[in-house]
Amino acid sequence: METNNYNWNATIFFETLTARNRLAVDKGFKFCRVSGMEGFQEALASMQNAKAFVCVNEVSQGYTSLDNSPHTRRVKTIFLAMRHKLDDMKARQNCFDTLRELFRQFMSVLIKEKTKLEEHCIELDRRITFHEIDEYFFSGCACAYFSVAVDVYTDLRYDKHEWIEQC
């Protein structure tokens, strides 16, 4: 059975945005892939020379819907972080201002991408929330994150050739 499933690679999308965005380049944002919050902290700790990061969590959360239009939802989390001088609240606020602006600029491209994806029955959730991490979970670093949920058509037709015995 030929598969009609399409996918969207959020990691490559945000890696490309990071490399092509003037603000990200001017502020020295480095792209990296992480696996959850622990991986994010490891990435920051290992990159002492970089001062700003865009990190995409390689692990997806999601579900498969068995309704009339079967689809699979995948959720990718994108972390943004900027280092600042310890105990300098003005520098921290400036970092958060930069993170908010970078998020806005990324969304301006994502809205265009949404239209292209719909041609392949891929739906981006219209609501993308931005969260600032108000605690110092990593000293001297302003951090924020957002998640992108993507619904992709999933071909769930039964194919007897995929099975050793009939189900």
- Tally Cβ neighbours within 10 Å of residue 81: 26
Question: What is the widest separation between alpha-carbon atoms in the chain?
Answer: 66
- Tally Cβ neighbours within 10 Å of residue 55: 25
pLDDT, position 2: 45
> In tens digits, what is the pLDDT along the chain, a chain of 167 residues?
344 445 788 899 999 999 999 999 999 999 998 876 666 666 666 666 788 999 998 776 777 878 777 778 888 899 999 999 888 889 999 999 999 999 999 999 999 998 888 887 788 888 999 999 876 556 788 999 999 988 887 778 888 888 998 76
What's the CATH architecture for 10-157? Answer: 2-Layer Sandwich (3.30)
Q: Say which DSSP state 91 is in.
A: H
Can you tell me the distance from the alpha carbon of 142 to that of 136, in angstroms, rounded to the nearest whole number?
8
